[in-house]
């Protein structure tokens, strides 16, 4: 399937989104904290409604957090520690 993406329209939409809520690869504890706040806000709105328009955004933000936790030394599996995904989905 060959889907044409209009990058001329995508760029301003992406920049507008970034001005409202930074969504990017997490590279520091402060990025992690900010992204976790975003996730918590999305969870308050979406809850468990898979049909909510923010549901996919919630999943993407959760994936960013999970990737950081896996890569970060501070979240290496130690006895008694859990990643965000393990806490949320057990």
The tens place of each residue's pLDDT in the chain, 90 residues long, gives: 678 999 999 999 999 999 999 899 999 999 999 999 999 999 999 999 999 999 999 999 999 999 999 888 655 555 455 655 555 555
Residue 11 maps to a domain: no
In total, how many domains does the chain have? Answer: 1
pLDDT at residue 71, as a whole number? 86
Residue 57 maps to a domain: yes
Contact 54, 46 (CB under 8 A): yes
Q: What pTM was estimated for this model as a whole?
A: 0.76
* Residues 5-19: b if buried by 16+ CB within 10 A, e if exposed: eeeeeeeeeeeeeee
pLDDT at residue 1, as a whole number? 66
Residue 27 maps to a domain: yes
Residue 82 maps to a domain: yes
pLDDT at residue 11, as a whole number? 97
Q: Report the distance separating Cα 28 and Cα 10, nearest Å.
A: 27
Residues spanned by the domain of 85: 23-89
Residue 7 maps to a domain: no
Residue 77 maps to a domain: yes
Residue 59 maps to a domain: yes
């Amino acid at each position: 399937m060959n889907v044409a993406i209009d990058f001329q329209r995508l760029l301003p939409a992406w920049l507008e989104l970034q001005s409202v809520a930074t969504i990017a690869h997490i590279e520091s504890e402060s990025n992690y904290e900010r992204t976790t706040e975003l996730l918590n806000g999305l969870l308050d709105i979406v809850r468990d409604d898979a049909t909510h328009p923010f549901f996919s955004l919630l999943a993407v933000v959760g994936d960013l957090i999970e990737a950081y936790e896996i890569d970060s030394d501070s979240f290496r599996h130690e006895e008694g520690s859990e990643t965000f995904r393990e806490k949320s989905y057990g």
